[in-house]
A = this chain, B = another copy of it.
Amino acid sequence: MRRIAVLTSGGDAPGMNAAIRGVVRCANNQDMEVYGIERGYDGLIKGDIRRMDSRSVSDIIQRGGTILKTARCPEFNTPEGIRKGYEVLRAYGIEGLIVIGGDGSFRGMRDLCTNHKMACVGIPGTIDNDLAYTDFTLGFDTAVNTVLDAINKIRDTMTSHDRACIIEVMGRHCGDIAVYSGLAGGAESIVVPEIPFDIDAICDKMRRNIIKGKASDIIVLAEGVCDCNTLKNMIQEKVDITIRTVKLGYIQRGGTPSMADRVLAARCADRAVNLLKNDIGGRVVGVREGAVIDDDITEALDMERKVNDELYRIASLLSL
């Protein structure tokens, strides 16, 4: 394979730029040309494509977001949209495509592979860590460290006022941001979509802590469970306490990528380029048990993500 393209799709994540840089430089090392596609599948369909070289990815490794931008593209959910995208790639003589994105982006990519025999490889880029086939996704480590910094700041003020606080973090279906940041931040309770939460257990713990003289509990809540004000009202009905809420929102998506996300980006880019070099498509790369792996995309999308029971259990222990 001599000419490949790369795009970012879905929600942006820290480390996407490091991955783009990795793709371009690894491909150049293998004597392959790289084209960058702007705004994901939308730019693909519209032909927003430009040649990239080693220079065009200088000074981006440390930057949040994605220089290729990203956008939603409902049209790519249709066979017609996919066909248009395929034809654009053909028109440029592009033989392989690397997609950096999450679950939804990979589904589009799978259809492009299946319907049109285009060699595609996916790199997992999403802060949610909600892909079952890989232990970690690009942006997750950075996002959790951002949340952790917020928990530190919020704890300062909550401890000073003896106030409890619910911190709502990202994660619609996957509670990993909540579990990792809650464990690392010493949260008193963690509420995630995968595990039914026991409002009485949360309230009991708060009452016990109030009796011990500590009213500044921190509860980390994944957005997929409910809104922070809903949970607040549920607790306030049962415990006589005023609770503050913070919804962290978009600060979780941005920022300079952490070391772990940059290293993961480089490793995934290296593997993705090598697959295409060997004319292998229909794969998604990731990391499992510390090693870079690649899986068949259809199988990968069928796997079921499980919550990290070990961390959830330890977090419960440590907050007693």
Contact = CB atoms under 8 A, between A and B. Distances in A.
Nearest to A14: B156
A259 B187 CA distance: 13
Contact of A270 (B69, B160, B258, B317): B317
B318 A154 contact: no
B250 A244 contact: yes
Contacts of A65: 156-157, 159-160
A249 interface: yes
Interface in A115-164: 135, 141, 144-146, 148, 150, 152-162
A62 B152 CA distance: 8
Interface string A244-266: 11111111011110111011001
Chain copies in complex: 4
B64 A153 contact: yes
Interface residues of A, number: 81
Given A160-B69, A290-B135, A318-B21, A184 B251 contact: no
A108 B28 CA distance: 45
A254 to B, nearest CB: 3
B21 A61 contact: no
A71 interface: yes
Contacts of A248: 251
A27 to B, nearest CB: 10
Contact of A61 (B25, B61, B185): B185
Contacts of A288: 290
Contacts of A251: 150, 153-154, 246, 248
A317 B29 contact: yes
Interface of A: 8, 11-12, 14, 16, 18, 21-22, 25-26, 28-29, 39, 54, 59, 61-66, 69-71, 135, 141, 144-146, 148, 150, 152-162, 165, 180-181, 183-186, 244-251, 253-256, 258-260, 262-263, 266-267, 270, 288-292, 310-311, 314-315, 317-318, 320
Given A14-B156, A66-B160, A153-B255, 13 more contacts: A12-B160, A26-B314, A69-B159, A70-B161, A71-B161, A152-B254, A156-B254, A157-B254, A183-B263, A245-B249, A246-B249, A266-B315, A292-B310
